[in-house]
Amino acid sequence: MTGEPRTVAVVGGGILGSVLALRLQQAGARVTLLERAPSLGGLAATIDFDGHQVDRFYHVIVPSDDRMIALTEELGLDDDLSFSPVGVGFFDGERTVPLDGLSDFARFPLLTPAGRARLAWFVASCQLRRDWSGLENVPLEDWLLRHCGREVVERIWRPLLDSRFDGNWSELPATYLWARTNRMRSARRNGGAETMGCLRGGHGRLIEATARRAAELGAEIRVGAGVEGLVQGADGAVTGVRVDGVDEPYDLVVATLQPPGLQRLLPEGLQGLLDAYPQRYLGVVCLILKLRESLLPYYSVNICQPTPITTIVETSHVVGTEHTDGLRLAYVPKYCEASAPEFTEDDELLYGRFTDMVARIAPGFRHEDVVSWTVQRAPTVEPVHPRGTAQRLAPVWPGVPGLGLASAAQVYPRLLNGDSVVRLAEEVAAQATERLAGDAPAAPVAALSGGAP
């Protein structure tokens, strides 16, 4: 960019907004990052949990998260990034068994030998497939039945998908499991246990370091600065944002909020932009337990039967217990829509219901071992992309001068996670830089390059 730096407001200080702010500032823009909460981080923020700083939701980095890993290196945090092998368990209603490599798989009791063979073939063929476009319009259930057979679908996939999508995954395309299987590919080395990484001090530290680097380069980082609305000029262009009742002018505004949050910012005349997005969103209600004893030898448990919780994630297997005075952390999430009863349920009742299930899965669980607990709720976590999403992915540049829309809702077919969000932020920063330099294409531009996750 030449001449006076162009001014850019980035709305939302989660991973996406923070990386976008850094990359735009590095490219010569004058960036203001506006975050409504008192601190940065969004879903990946750190919270004070009775005197210990912990991730608000469980977060790991897998070895194929190359953008996240590169970011930690760039920010000088790579010495604090460590990877360790973790165990994964499967609960079938009576027992929890490990699935940590080929020898466990060979005697995996939830499936017959024929079922195991079909599942192994299915996973291998997913991992060999590079081109996902043929799966875009294929209903996930049909695809699974065709490739895995009824036994594997009923015993494994249906209960797992039911608990992950709150009982409704009929609109999902086959790309979902293709992407999930591929993301985990690099986590399993030589057919062995999964390998997971974490940043000492929590995921939120990466976001704070990103924003700090942007600030060192001249960006303005404002927390407690909730954007009340976008400001639109008489010609329809977006000319700025309103914060605390004051209109602030910017050459470009990029909002990183998913539609439920974005809807509150868009002026009446721009509400139609929301039509391009998926209609259904999942949130998360998550019980966090601080425990004297480990629940299970597994990082996570896949629950292969009807369940009020989605999984149990004992993060101490990855993040250790140094920062929690030797106490262990277990996250017990339930993915559900914002209208689900879990969002308004009394916390004590929720604790009781969720820990009843924990006790079934981890028979050693005792309430006396719970030192403290808390419930975290996030009503908007991820969209449910229906079949055919690739052809109608919401554009980053919706054809409104001065406005960019780059949110987690536009991540597809990759799975939504920190790595894919960093990738989106970096692609959008490059496009925004071109546009600010005046050589941008006029038509709306969709978000992501495809490729394997």
Ligand X SMILES: Cc1cc2nc3c(=O)[nH]c(=O)nc-3n(C[C@H](O)[C@H](O)[C@H](O)COP(=O)(O)OP(=O)(O)OC[C@H]3O[C@@H](n4cnc5c(N)ncnc54)[C@H](O)[C@@H]3O)c2cc1C
Cβ nearer to ligand X, comparing 144 with 424: 424
Cβ nearer to ligand X, comparing 37 with 440: 37
Cβ nearer to ligand X, comparing 43 with 394: 43
Cβ nearer to ligand X, comparing 180 with 292: 180
Give the whole-angstrom CA distance, residue 315 versus residue 330: 6
CB of 313 to ligand X, least distance (A): 8
Cβ nearer to ligand X, comparing 3 with 38: 38
CB of 323 to ligand X, least distance (A): 17
CB of 21 to ligand X, least distance (A): 11
Measured from the Cβ of residue 242, the count of other Cβ atoms closer than 10 Å reads 15
Q: What is the contact surface with ligand X in residues (CB under 6 A)?
A: 11-17, 34-37, 42-44, 57-60, 226-227, 256-257, 261, 284, 286, 333, 378, 381, 408, 416-419, 421
CB of 223 to ligand X, least distance (A): 9
Cβ nearer to ligand X, comparing 110 with 255: 255
CB of 154 to ligand X, least distance (A): 27
CB of 330 to ligand X, least distance (A): 13
Give the distance, in angstroms, between the CA of residue 301 and the centroid of all CA atoms in the same chain.
18
CB of 279 to ligand X, least distance (A): 19
Cβ nearer to ligand X, comparing 144 with 187: 187
CB of 44 to ligand X, least distance (A): 4
Cβ nearer to ligand X, comparing 11 with 221: 11
CB of 363 to ligand X, least distance (A): 25
- List beta partners, residue 61: 197
Cβ nearer to ligand X, comparing 16 with 161: 16
